[in-house]
Structures are given as structure tokens and as C-alpha cells.
Amino acid sequence: MQHEADLGSGLGRVMLPDALERKLPSAPTEWRWQLVFPAGKICRDPRFGPPSRFRVHESLVQKAVTEAARRSGVTARVTCHTFRHSFAMHLLEAGYDIRTVQELLRHSMICTHVLNRGGVGVKSPMDRL
């Protein structure tokens, strides 16, 4: 694993707020605080503290999503934002309240016209018994 290799090299630290580092001194090297998509190269710029990996640039993720869609034969336009909408629709279809979904995704408006289920989409507390 990349993180373990970085730790072995004296790296493997993620930059966290100073207050958090004071409260949890080992947090910068713990697995649970590491980046999900770390950069492929170590940043050695002293302005950013000790050498460490930063997050992968968003353009690389966007290119990977576009390429995966192309390879799978999907002809519709697919972007990273498509995943946000897909996630939101799955939550709405599962019966979550639209205000909760908007809060989770920090989105002011979600297209609900695709649900179009009428009263069938409303779940009663009795449905859960």
C-alpha cells in the first residue's frame, strides 16, 4: 500500500489543521486521515510543510471517468457531477426527504421530475412495520 511505503520512507503525513494536530498528534500519519485519492508524486515545497502527498488533481479524476465511460460503451455524456445526481436520485428513490438530500449534497435544487411517482413515492411510518 502506498501509505505504508510512504511511512517507511519517513513521509506519509497528511496536512491537518493545527488545532486537530494538537488534539490528536498521531492523526497526520494514521490511515483514516489520509487522502482517498493521493497524488502520484511527493510535494517538496517548503511553503506547504514537510514533504507529503497532496490530493490528485481533479482533472485526472474527470479524465478517468470520461475514459471509463467511453470504454464501457456509454454514449451519454458522463462527468463526475453525474455521480452526484445519481447518488441523489438513489436517495430520493429510497424514500429520503428531499431537504435532507439537498443538505447532504449542499445543493439548492435537485431535479425531482424524473421520480414522477405521485403518491406512491410517499412512505408512511406504518410501511416500516
> Considering the chain, what percentage of its residues have pLDDT values greater than 90?
26
> Considering the chain, what percentage of its residues have pLDDT values greater than 70?
82
Quote the crossing angle between the two packed helices 80-93 and 98-105, to the nearest 10°: 150
- Average pLDDT of every residue of the chain: 83
pTM, two decimal places: 0.58
The CA–CA distances, whole Å, from 27 to 13, 14, 33, 52 equal 9, 8, 6, 14
pLDDT at 68 > cutoff 90:
yes
The pLDDT of 51-80, averaged and rounded, is 92
